[in-house]
Homo-oligomer: A and B are copies of this chain.
Amino acid sequence: MRNSSKEKYKVAVLGSGNWGSVAAKLIASNTLRNNDFHGEVRMWVHDEILPSGEKLSTVINQTNVNVKYLPGVKLGKNVVADPDLDSSVGKIFAVRDANMLVFVTPHQFVDDVCKRLVGKIPGDVEAISLIKGMEVKVEGPRMISSVISEHLGVDCCVLMGANIAHEIAEEKFSEATIGYRVNTEAAKRWARLFSTPYFAVTAVQDVEGVEVCGTLKNVVAIAAGFVDGLNMGMNTKAAIIRIGLNEMRAFSKRLFPSVKDDTFFESCGVADLIATCFGGRNRKVAEAFAINGGQRAFKELEEEMLKGQKLQGVLTAEEVYGVLQKNKWLDLFPLFRTIHEICTGNRPVSAIISCNEPQLA
């Protein structure tokens, strides 16, 4: 056991986008002052050539700033950008000797990254996923944490919450929730690794609940954007967020009976939902959809407002609808159902507020 042998925990951050860079900054501030951890934090950079002709990883190591994805913010001198994830030739590479792996790549790259790591990391490595992008497929939900666990045979926690990255980079107070399966000691260690006076982390034994929240909130944010676009006022918006929170809760429990109600009172639940329904691009593009009376399709707005990138909430709404349809749950989730029907042009935007008939006791 590492603890008994006093071996230190060595952290590798896999991913160096906006959120990955902020995560590396948080972690590096803790590994410096906590003797349980190696000071150095390796951050794997999927390298790219900057307009200056230099490599991104080189510039990060020279300036200590991720000039492309988190400009202006010092990551900490103990963050080492490493373009080599898993080298079988070089002696130094990102995951070498690491026993705590932080997954924070774009979600479409998780499979590839995991495949490259198979056989190259020991079984007692601990992992955590900061990646949002769980899929809710008819054939069964595909959690990112499970994908990592299955590929690598390791335990994988998740960290989610009301975490707009640039606000955390500015050291404005935020909270986050760690979801873990059974290993309480690992969860505490992850909490120590991430917690700072401006980043308050709580661990709950509900990995599914935490990860599902991070996905379903984007669906509710579409509804919030519709209400904003319809100019319905604060009562309606608060009602739609509340109904959304309750459908998130009910839907999560149908997918995973172990999901706990208390999880929705954590940062990953109600707080992330509030932040996403008042900020964020799902809300924003949905608002534009409503303002245009549904006459401009999401595809068109995505091209214009997101340079063609797909809106996560619209994709997840479609997946959720498939699950509702297959299980004959459509009538049990009037908000989720209606969101998808509006997104696809099958109902007018105004249907968002008529989907909930008064509930007589």
Contacts and interface: CB of A to CB of B under 8 A. Distances in A.
Interface in A233-259: 233-239, 241-243, 245-246, 249
Contacts of A360: 188, 191-192, 195, 201
B245 A267 contact: no
B357 A239 contact: no
A270 interface: yes
B235 A164 contact: yes
Contacts of A195: 358, 360
Interface residues of A, number: 60
A261 B246 CA distance: 13
Given A173-B239, A234-B167, A236-B167, A358 B196 contact: yes
Nearest to A184: B361
A110 interface: no
Contacts of A358: 191, 195-197, 199-201
A162 B356 CA distance: 16
A1 B238 CA distance: 39
A245 B270 CA distance: 9
A233 B175 CA distance: 13
Contacts of A234: 162, 164, 167, 275, 278-279
A322 B301 CA distance: 53
A109 interface: no
Contacts of A246: 265
Contacts of A235: 162-164, 167-168, 172-175, 275
Contacts of A167: 233-236
A286 interface: no
Nearest to A198: B353
Interface centre among A168, A242, A267 (most CB of B within 10 A): A242
Given A270-B270, A361-B188, A173 B236 contact: yes
B163 A271 contact: no
Interface centre among A163, A235, A242, A264 (most CB of B within 10 A): A235
Nearest to A170: B233
A161 to B, nearest CB: 8
A343 interface: no
Nearest to A180: B361
A86 interface: no
A118 to B, nearest CB: 30
Contacts of A239: 162, 173-175, 200, 267, 271
B172 A274 contact: no
B164 A274 contact: no
A248 to B, nearest CB: 11
9 contacts: A162-B235, A173-B353, A173-B356, A195-B360, A197-B358, A201-B358, A242-B265, A242-B266, A278-B278
Given A238-B270, A241-B271, 18 more contacts: A162-B234, A162-B235, A163-B235, A167-B235, A167-B236, A172-B236, A173-B239, A173-B354, A173-B356, A174-B239, A188-B361, A191-B360, A197-B357, A234-B279, A237-B275, A238-B272, A239-B271, A241-B274
